[in-house]
Amino acid sequence: MKITKICCIGAGYVGGPTMAVIAQKCPDIQVTVVDLNEQRIKDWNDPNTDNIPIYEPGLSEIVAEARGRNLFFSTEVEKAIDEAQVIFISVNTPTKTYGKGKGMAADLKYIELCARQIAKVAKQNKIVVEKSTLPVRTAEAIKSILDNTGNGVQFQILSNPEFLAEGTAVTDLLNPDRILIGGDTTPEGEEAINALVDVYANWVSKDKILTTNVWSSELSKLTANAFLAQRISSINAMSELCEKTGADVNEVAKAIGMDSRIGPKFLKASVGFGGSCFQKDILNLVYIAKSYGLNEVADYWEQVIIMNDHQKRRFSNKIVQTLYNTVADKKIAFLGWAFKKDTNDTRESAAIYVADDLINEQAKISVYDPKVSRNKMLSDLDYLETRSDEANSKALSIFDNAYEACKGAHAIAILTEWDEFTTYDWQKIYDSMHKPAFLFDGRNILDSKELESIGFIYKAIGS
């Protein structure tokens, strides 16, 4: 089977960039990205591609090249489903906030809605691809819906998890470590797998395209995120021990990272991991383990989340303790709100939780982030429902540049490792602040000796 038409349901952080790259690399395939959110589709179709809803380095250029040629963004979901041979499901799978599995299990209501809509619309055989991160054996549920509520159409379900890191998503898509495709071992399943392999083979070497059964593919995604998050929590746990013993966590990380069995990646002590995947996927893994009675396995992985939450609280506590055990009516400048650099995604960002803690202590928070809007910052705090929307608005001030955000501040907290923060005139910033002036580097990106020579009282994770 040669694929000529692809539909992707979901124009978010995964669906948008993934489909843009497929369209760029496969000009003979028509790629249509659909979403019920009219404003999001309107933003994707903005004539100025710098205004597309997702910021990723290099993404706007790819969209500009392919959009209108073979890449389309639309709200006509049923039309796109009907025309496509391959349908990617790339919708949100948040942690459940209700019922059985609340706080741990993945909420699959959007996945089920997609499956039912595909079943209702499809009139020819389709390949349905799980792109969202899903619990093991979700494909089985999708196939049951498609086979029993459809129009006698034959469906093949594939698992093709994404392994993107936000901020480097375009690079990860253009030069992936691997492409993973899981499917049935039947002749029809093998045909579907090979059809998708041929799509990726337009730019990815076939020795990097792995094929497995569906269940292995689904679990591999959860496992990859769990292992990466575990490394972050591990080095963050050691950062606290370093503070007590006089060791330098950066020196410890360098020493162990030179061991070829360990390697240097994901060993940078920080205020904690954020983003849409790590916490959600680990909680999902914990829930799955508990559902099978594997309590020791569940407890092991849950500790990764516990350590991450502890690191965020520890950072905000360090700020309060250093500022003479009170931050009431003091201005604390936040540099960065996104959960990491080179993205405008704020989901589970450490900045949200540190700000929440400090506002509870009656601090005044001023924020600068080069890519996150005021409305997004306020909605992040409002979502926690810790206090009224009005109270959040009064406590949070957003500025267009770091110099204004830091003027008159008692302390600065670096919450995102934006490269531009390393280029600032820190003497100018220090001179504009209350004295003594404190700087808390939650991402360990600045030179402590240089800052201390200026006069800052410098505090970093692990120091």
Question: Which is it for strands 457-460 and 396-398: parallel, antiparallel or unpaired?
Answer: unpaired
Q: Is the peptide bond before 436 cis (omega within 30 degrees of 0)?
A: yes
For the chain, give me the number of helices (H) and strands (E)?
Answer: 18, 14
Question: Long-range contacts of range 150-153, CB-CB < 8 Å, 24 or more positions apart?
Answer: 150/118, 150/119, 150/120, 150/122, 151/119, 151/122, 151/123, 153/119, 153/122, 153/123, 153/124, 153/125, 153/126
In the set 56, 130, 162, 166, the catalytic residue is: 162
Q: What are the tokens at 263?
A: 């390697």
Q: Tell me the C-alpha distance between 208 and 306, whole Å.
A: 35
Q: Tell me the C-alpha distance between 197 and 180, whole Å.
A: 9
CB atoms within 10 A of CB 49: 16
| Exposure string over 17-42, b if 16+ CB within 10 A, otherwise e | bbbbbbbbbbeebbbbbbbeeeebbe
In the set 7, 8, 242, 277, the catalytic residue is: 277
Compute the C-alpha angle 91/97/102, nearest 5°: 110
3-state DSSP assignment of residue 415: coil
Distance of CA 51 to the CA centre of its chain: 20
Q: What beta strand segments (E) does 382-449 contain? A: 396-398, 411-414, 438-441
Phi first, then psi: what are they for 352, rounded to 5°?
A: -60, -45
Is 277 one of the catalytic residues? yes
Compute the C-alpha angle 81/87/55, nearest 5°: 105
Q: Tell me the C-alpha distance between 353 and 359, whole Å.
A: 10
Q: Is the dihedral of CA 189, 192, 194, 200 positive or negative?
A: negative
Is 162 one of the catalytic residues? yes
Residue type, 43: D
**Cβ-contact 337, 344 below 8 angstroms:** no
In the set 96, 131, 221, 312, the catalytic residue is: 221
Is 361 one of the catalytic residues? no
Looking at the annotation, which residues are catalytic? 162, 221, 277
